[in-house]
């Protein structure tokens, strides 16, 4: 008998067909106030859940006593309480790896556009205000040869470092909880403290996961340790930076500027003071937003769910402890 699965996101037709072939599938384009009770009803008989872009809290989990696996179509999993899922014996799967390179491309786009004031000057041209050779008041800053400081040297951090060092001759320093031997041996990256990275880097790139210890890691005090000509880049999670304090630091001219793909509240409100600052490049969370990568993410998430509900959890599992909890209670997969 096929497991029952609830899908709460629109996905490509070929991947939808895979889910329909493997499971008894109940489909929702998203979870909203209007359909929440329908979702809850579907979850009562569900063994699997797949989707993205919506918090999955206790109300939904309580409605799904038979839930065994969740597959999120994302690398980040801050919309879940991992300890709670582990306690309940629910495996959480995610999609690392498939979005590494395109996210690194986005981060480097922020570096280049912020350094050369590309968005600001493109808007000047579109307004018809380019009437003479660009003068000093619109000069940017070089990227080539400048020092890049990377907060978080995982897969994406390494991919950014590789672009920086091999493509732009940038010395690399990084702040991470452990040594990245590949970055140090191949890219001559230097591990340093947070304060050292902030003080020495010309570009500080945040590529950390959102965890209790990283939330609001960067505030006014930390930004004040940066060089006056430095640029802060965030391509990970908005809540890692204290946004009101970043706004105040930019308004005070503490650093040159910021390039941001993520924000505390998304979509970013049109009233945000960030949008009034010419030295801010603000993108609508496009880190993985290419046709190729988004399709690969969905395919990976489908693979993950099929494997998890078959009891084969060998990769992409956020909480292996959930499997131990299932084994300890004797609550094994049934009817598959």
Alpha-carbon gap, residue 171 to 147, rounded angstroms: 5
Long-range contacts at 112-116 (CB < 8 A, ≥ 24 apart): 112/143, 113/259, 113/281, 114/231, 114/233, 114/257, 114/258, 114/259, 114/279, 114/281, 115/140, 115/141, 115/142, 115/143, 115/203, 115/231, 116/140, 116/141, 116/143
Name residue, tokens 């008989």: 45
User: Is 237 tagged catalytic?
Assistant: yes
**Active-site residue, selected from the candidate residues 59, 123, 266, 292:** 266
In this structure, how many other beta carbons lie within 10 angstroms of the beta carbon of residue 271?
A: 7
Token reading at 203:
């570009």
How many residues in total does the chain contain? 336
User: Is 266 tagged catalytic?
Assistant: yes
| 311 torsion bin: left (phi>0), alpha (psi -120 to 50), beta (else) | left
**Active-site residue, selected from the candidate residues 27, 45, 54, 285:** 285
User: Is 27 tagged catalytic?
Assistant: no
What positions carry a catalytic annotation? 237, 266, 285
């Amino acid at each position: 008998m096929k497991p029952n699965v609830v899908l709460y996101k629109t996905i490509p037709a070929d991947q939808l067909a895979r889910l329909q072939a493997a499971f008894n599938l109940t489909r929702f384009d998203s979870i909203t106030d209007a359909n929440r009770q329908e979702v809850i009803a579907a979850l009562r008989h569900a063994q699997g859940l797949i989707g993205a872009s919506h918090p999955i809290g206790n109300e939904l989990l309580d409605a799904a006593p038979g839930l065994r696996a969740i597959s999120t179509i994302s690398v980040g999993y801050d919309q879940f309480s991992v300890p709670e899922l582990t306690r309940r014996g629910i495996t959480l799967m995610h999609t690392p790896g498939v979005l590494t390179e395109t996210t690194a491309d986005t981060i480097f786009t922020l570096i280049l556009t912020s350094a050369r004031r590309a968005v600001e000057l493109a808007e000047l041209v579109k307004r018809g205000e380019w009437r003479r050779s660009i003068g000093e008041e619109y000069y940017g800053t070089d990227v080539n040869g400048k020092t890049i400081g990377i907060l978080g040297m995982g897969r994406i951090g390494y991919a950014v470092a590789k672009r920086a060092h091999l493509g732009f001759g940038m010395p690399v320093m990084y702040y991470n909880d452990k040594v990245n031997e590949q970055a140090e041996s191949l890219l001559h990256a230097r591990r340093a403290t947070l304060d050292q990275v902030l003080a020495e880097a010309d570009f500080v790139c945040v590529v950390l996961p959102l965890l209790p210890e990283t939330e609001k890691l960067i505030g006014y005090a930390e930004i004040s340790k940066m060089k006056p000509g430095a640029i802060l880049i965030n391509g990970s999670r908005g809540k890692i930076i204290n946004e009101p304090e970043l706004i105040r630091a930019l308004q005070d001219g503490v650093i040159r500027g910021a390039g941001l793909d993520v924000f505390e509240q998304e979509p970013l409100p049109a009233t945000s003071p960030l949008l009034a600052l010419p030295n801010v490049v603000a993108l609508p969370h496009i880190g993985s937003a290419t046709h190729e990568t988004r399709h690969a993410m969905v395919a990976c998430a489908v693979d993950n769910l099929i494997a998890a509900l078959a009891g084969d959890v060998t990769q992409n599992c956020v909480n292996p402890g959930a499997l131990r909890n299932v084994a300890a209670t004797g609550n094994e997969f049934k009817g598959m």
